Amino acid sequence: MKKMILLVAGSLMALTGCNEKMGGKVSLNSDKAKYSYAVGMQIGRNMKSQNIELDQSAFSGGISDMLAGKDAKMSDAQVQEALKKMADMRNEKRKKAADDNKSKGEEFLKANKAKEGIKMTESGLQYKVLTEGNGAKPALNDTVKVHYKGTLTDGKEFDSSYKRNKPAEFPVRAVIPGWTEALQLMSVGSKYQLFIPSKLAYGERGNPSIPGNSVLLFDVELLEIKAKDKK
């Protein structure tokens, strides 16, 4: 709740100098206009990533009133109540989506494990060997270099080192449990498809780009074992 209040309060302060008509025609013909638009972009991107739905007219009105030094149309108590209601609505929406994802994920994994080439570990991790390498296998304390692509079961891509054209490097123990387990099964040079249950990923909470209780699909290519994690 406190985080939500700070986010909205910060947004109001940061929009100083922005165009009065939110989403209207904007002219970026000065440094002030450019940095104002840049701040607005960051705030808008942040709110979108957190699925914060706003009445843009009312939002713009709140900013305009505060910047102009006008009396607020809501008391502090009303502001607190409104922000709490927004947080409650978002939590309820997130919980419903997570509940729906849980049943869909269970159905997906049940059907998937019957497909040709799919293997499953005791933890529930499912994987398919696309290419079997002949190099060493990483241990829990190793650091690895990988290329990967991650999608949801509906095919929506949420991350890809291929698109960044830069492999990722990280300790085996520092990623989600499904990855930690899968990497120790792979030899350098291998490419696997992973089907990771939500309990081995981000669970009920999810993250900004991954809804709660989501089954995650990854194409993972183990390129190299870089070094031992000395921690």
Residues tagged active-site = 148, 158-159, 176, 202, 218
DSSP per-residue letters across 87-149: HHHHHHHHHHHHHHHHHHHHHHHHHHTTSTTEEE-TTS-EEEEEE---SPPPPTTEEEEEEEE
CA dihedral (190, 196, 202, 206) in degrees, to 10, reads: 110
Nearest Cα neighbor of 146 from 114, 203, 187 is: 187
Determine contact, residues 204/125, Cβ cutoff 8 Å: no
175 phi/psi in degrees, rounded to 5: -110, -175
Nearest Cα neighbor of 62 from 89, 26, 27, 22 is: 22
Q: Evaluate the CA torsion angle 8, 14, 16, 22 in order and state its sign.
A: negative
d(CA 17, CA 1): 28
